[in-house]
Amino acid sequence: MNRILKKRVLAPAVKLIEVENPFIAAKAEPGQFVILRVYEKGERIPLTISDYDREKGTLTIVFQEIGKTTTLLGRLEEGDRILDLVGPLGKPTNLENLQRVVVIGGGLGTALVLSQVKEMHKKGTRVDCIIGARNKDLIILEEEISPYCENLYIATDDGSRGHKGFVTDVLKKLLDEGNRYDRAIAVGPLIMMKVVSNLTRQYGLPTVVSMNPIMVDGTGMCGCCRLTVGGETKFACVDGPEFDGHLVDFDEVIKRTGMYREEEKLAMELLQRSLEGGL
């Protein structure tokens, strides 16, 4: 169990792993996540189930190395085991009765919406997809996702691929051109989801965002992941992670995710020092 069967580097510091866990694979649905721990002294971190294969009993996880835990995870190789892996957690995305949907994936977001896009395609929903990244090298999984999209648009901050600018520019253009969608699904950095939600609010387009607050248990017992949605406190791990983007208090979530910045920096520095020392 929890053995890494396949590992791919998708972009600098972005890795994909396929992990064996038939229990979770049998139950996973689009939009759900796992919590894992890499080693005995490690932290529990949540990562989205990007894809799953019930027959093979595997899950695909795509992650960005941004701190100690994700860096340690990135150092595991094929054949290694992940110490603890629990899931599937959170509510699955509701993808029923959708005619046409626009999906916006920022940065890593593309990986995180893959299973949703696949599922919608299976259900006959028409999907337009907008992928954004800082530059062309950071665009990931384009080939994997494109067969399931009617249209695929790309935006890069530096213009090295597709539209030069933000995903919201492309979205606004599509909406202004008269494209009509039942729903927008936005997954990516908090600031991107906030800007998308502000835009779609003006167009009255219902928008689902996937929130990534700090978590500990992922089963509703700590309240660390709480956020304000429409004036009410919700726990992202059990009530979400997906919420109505027009109701989420993004500024609060952004402040809360920075709560342990100093400690995260210290942990990363110590890790880097020990990795360098070990070379």
Partner 1 sequence: MAESKRKPNLAKTKVPMPEQDPQARVKNFEEVALGYTPAQAVEEAKRCLRCKEPHCIDGCPVNVQIPEFIRLIEEERFVEAYHKILEMNNLPAICGRVCPQENQCEKLCLRGEKGEPVAIGRLERFAADYAASLPENGGKPAVRDSQPKGRVAVIGSGPAGLTCAADLAKAGYRVTVFEAFHTPGGVLVYGIPEFRLPKSIVQREIENVKSLGVDIQTNMVIGKVLSIDELFAQGYDAVFIGTGAGLPDFLRIPGENLNGVMSANEFLTRVNLMKGYRFPEYDTPVKVGRRVAVVGGGNVAMDAARCALRLGAEKVYIVYRRSEEEMPARREEVHHAKEEGIEFRLLTNPVRILGDDAGWVRGMECVCMELGEPDASGRRKPLCKPGSEHIVDVETVIMALGTTPNPLIARTTPGLELTRFGGIVADEATGQTSREGVFAGGDIVTGAATVILAMGAGKKAAKAIDEYVTAKRQG
Q: Which residues of this chain interact with partner 1, rule CB under 8 A?
A: 23-24, 27, 37, 41-44, 68-69, 83-89, 216-217, 219-224, 226-228, 233, 238, 252, 255-256, 258-260, 263-264, 266-267, 270
Closest distance to ligand FES from the beta carbon of 235 (Å): 5
Residue 224, interface with ligand FES (CB under 6 A)? yes
- Interacting residues with ligand FAD (CB under 6 A): 33, 43, 45-48, 62-64, 66-70, 108, 112, 212-215, 241, 257, 261, 264, 268
Contacts of 23 (CB under 8 A, 6+ apart): none
Q: Which of 18/43 has CB closer to partner 1?
A: 43
Q: Which of 15/37 has CB closer to partner 1?
A: 37
Q: Which does 112 bind (CB under 5 to 8 A by kind): ligand FAD, partner 1, ligand FES, none?
A: ligand FAD
Q: Which of 61/114 has CB closer to ligand FES?
A: 61
Residue 217, interface with ligand FES (CB under 6 A)? yes
* Torsion sign across C-alpha atoms 122, 125, 126, 131: negative
Tokens at 211, concatenated: 């929130």
Tokens at 204, concatenated: 């009255």
Closest distance to ligand FES from the beta carbon of 33 (Å): 11
Residue 215, interface with ligand FES (CB under 6 A)? yes
Which residues form the interface with ligand FES (CB under 6 A)?
215-218, 220-225, 235, 237
